[in-house]
Amino acid sequence: MAHSVEGHLNLKIAEYDRRIRTLVYAYDEMRLEHLKLLDRCLPREGGLVLDLGGGTGALAAAVAERFPTIQVQIWDTDPAMLSFARERCAPFGDRMKFVEKSFASPLPACDAVVACIALHHVKDMNVKGQIYRHIFAALRPGGIFANADTLMEPRSAPRAHYFDVWSAFQQSHGISNAEARQNFATWAGEDCYTSLSQEMKLLAEAGFPEPDCFWRHEHQGVFGGIK
């Protein structure tokens, strides 16, 4: 499940934090929702958060800053991104660990698992279901899985609407409609945007007793479950 962000998005890693906000709708809003959910579920002292597909370490750094007693592990298969994350997260010292390993592997016991625009790269739903089972098994009682990602309905009308909204967002950042549509076509080679109902089914089958969509705006959502 190796994945290169530089190749997928055609950008330099140093540009990622700026460019991602011009390409991904509601990126910052999803970050705020992650932190709110963790505030509800993390232990008051200590604890471990896993960031799957943590990339440049932006989410992990925000979590470590907001919760100064917790440990964070970034799991990613892209060595270039992990190298960037190490530099960014150096101020957090040994509270931050970097794991160059597929998040389809079994995970260590933890208090929360987060992911941001990472799991849509898993195109095989059997593999995705296994990932969710590993997450459920790793979470301690009361732990949360919060996945921020793109949701797309299979029906053509709502799907077309979501891509129109997404294109309009990119156009607001100086990207033409034609360029936005080309982005979507290019990304489709590696991305698989599932529906909310499909995600809820996979989460329930993984063991989450009440899978939920914690937040949604248009085609972006933060969803998962509490063990």
- DSSP for 135-195 reads HHHHEEEEEEEEEEEEB--SSHHHHHHHHHHHHHHHHTTT--HHHHHHHHHHHTTT---B-
Residue at 180 is within a domain: no
Q: Whole-angstrom Cα distance, residue 65 to residue 113?
A: 17
The boundaries of the domain holding residue 218 are 5-152+193-226
Q: What is the pLDDT along the chain (227 residues), one digit of tens a residue?
A: 444 444 444 456 778 888 999 999 999 999 999 999 999 999 989 999 999 999 899 999 999 999 999 999 999 999 989 999 999 999 999 999 999 998 889 999 999 999 999 999 999 999 999 999 999 999 999 999 999 999 999 999 999 999 999 999 999 999 999 999 999 999 999 999 999 999 999 999 999 999 999 999 999 999 999 99
Residue 170 in any domain: the answer is no
Considering the domain boundaries, does residue 159 fall inside one?
Answer: no
Radius of gyration of the CA atoms of the chain, in A: 17
Instruction: State the CATH number of the domain containing residue 124.
Output: 3.40.50.150
Structural domain count, the chain: 1
Q: Which of 26, 45, 195, 197 is nearest to 116 (CA)?
A: 26
User: Does the residue 166 lie in any domain?
Assistant: no
Query: Is position 173 within any domain?
Result: no
pTM: 0.92
In 3D space, the residue among 163, 136, 158, 160 whose CA is nearest the CA of residue 147 turns out to be 136
Task: Assess if residue 212 is contained within a domain.
Answer: yes
Query: 137 in a domain, yes or no?
Result: yes
Q: Which of 148, 147, 16 is nearest to 81 (CA)?
A: 16
